[in-house]
Structure 1
Amino acid sequence: MSQSASERQASQTEQGTWNKLVAFHTQVSELVEKTLQDRFGLSLSEYTALEALARVSGSDRPGLRMQALAEAVGMNQSSVSRLVTRLERQDLVERIHYEKDRRGVFTAITASGRETLDAAVPTYLQTLAAAFDRANADPDLRELVQRIGS
């Protein structure tokens, strides 16, 4: 008889891998967050939201509903609502009532938001590469980083 997922416990190897993944995520997130904040006044979540909104910009949709944006950013709806409010104050996004779909309010990137994102992308990518390089130099994280990168 096999154990169900709720009865099985993680092995020491799985726990160790998870701990390394959390450490790696923390290192990368902190470095990227600090750099984006220092240079552009953006949190990593705000950058991720702008990136998600830019991907749908120019499509047949005016932006993303809050739930879709929450999923793209990895936050709950109330946190994303506060994030959107912050970005609105900076004129980086706007809320739109879309006449073809009256079920909800959409959030769209503004021209200023697009300019900010375009300026931030090279810094984000350089910082992300530096974070991977730093983690790859850490003997405890090297194997994990190499697996992720392949």
Structure 2
Amino acid sequence: MKRAMSERHASDQEQGAWNQLAMFHARVSAMVGRSLQDRFGLSLTEYSALEALAEAPGADGLRMQVLADTVGLNQSSVSRLVARLEREDLVERNLNQRDRRGVFTTITQAGREMLGEAMPVYSQTLAAAFDRLGADPELRELVERIGR
């Protein structure tokens, strides 16, 4: 059963804040994604997946649905993402030995090495994006609130 949506409408201030946040996210994602693609052939989503897998507790990695939720993709999109990373030997899929129904994805040594090389570029580009967008009069206040 679906819950009824609230009758309340977003205020002009809420709409403006959302539009600023969406613009900020799009610009930062484009800058960081372009840098990762140019240097390592990785999309921002692929980088995020490698990072999530590297931080996964235990040796099993992450269940595919958890990885999908973590990187903001649906099940079929994360399957394609993992297949691409698997072709590059950056991740591998395995059946969990305790729960044979669950497919888990783990980062490989090559994936850890790629992530280790990409992390400084990600961090530097992210900092540059914050600096650049912090100078934009439309986004300055937002950048100051979330990034400093």
TM-score by length of 2: 0.94
Partner residue in 2 for 1:32: 32
Q: Within 2, Cα distance between the matches of 1:101 and 1:51?
A: 24
The letter of the residue matching 1:107 is T
Identical aligned residues as a percent: 66
- Residue segments in structure 1 that go unaligned for 5+ positions in a row: none
Contact 2:95 2:101 in 1 (8 A): no
Q: Within 1, Cα distance between the matches of 2:5 and 2:100?
A: 41
Partner residue in 1 for 2:17: 17
Query: Does 1:108 find its partner at 2:106?
Result: yes
Provide Cα deviations, 1:85-138, integer angstroms capped at 9, x if missing partner.
Answer: 000000000001121221211000000000000000000000000000111000
Provide Cα deviations, 1:66-87, integer angstroms capped at 9, x if missing partner.
Answer: 1000011011111000000000
How far apart are residue 148 of structure 1 and its match?
Answer: 0.7
Partner residue in 2 for 1:70: 68
After TM superposition, where is structure 1 displaced by more than 2 Å over at least 4 residues in a row? none
Q: Within 2, Cα distance between the matches of 1:8 and 1:105?
A: 42
RMSD across aligned positions (CA): 1.2
Partner residue in 1 for 2:144: 146
Provide Cα deviations, 1:14-67, integer angstroms capped at 9, x if missing partner.
Answer: 1111110011001100000000000000000000000000001xx434111110
Partner residue in 1 for 2:44: 44
SS at 1:118's partner residue?
A: helix
The letter of the residue matching 1:55 is E
Q: Within 1, Cα distance between the matches of 2:134 and 2:41?
A: 28
Partner residue in 2 for 1:90: 88
- Residue segments in structure 2 that go unaligned for 5+ positions in a row: none
Q: Within 1, Cα distance between the matches of 2:75 and 2:129?
A: 29
Query: Does 1:117 find its partner at 2:115?
Result: yes
Q: Within 1, Cα distance between the matches of 2:142 and 2:104?
A: 38
SS at 2:55's partner residue?
A: helix
Number of positions where the alignment pairs a residue of Structure 1 with one of Structure 2:
145
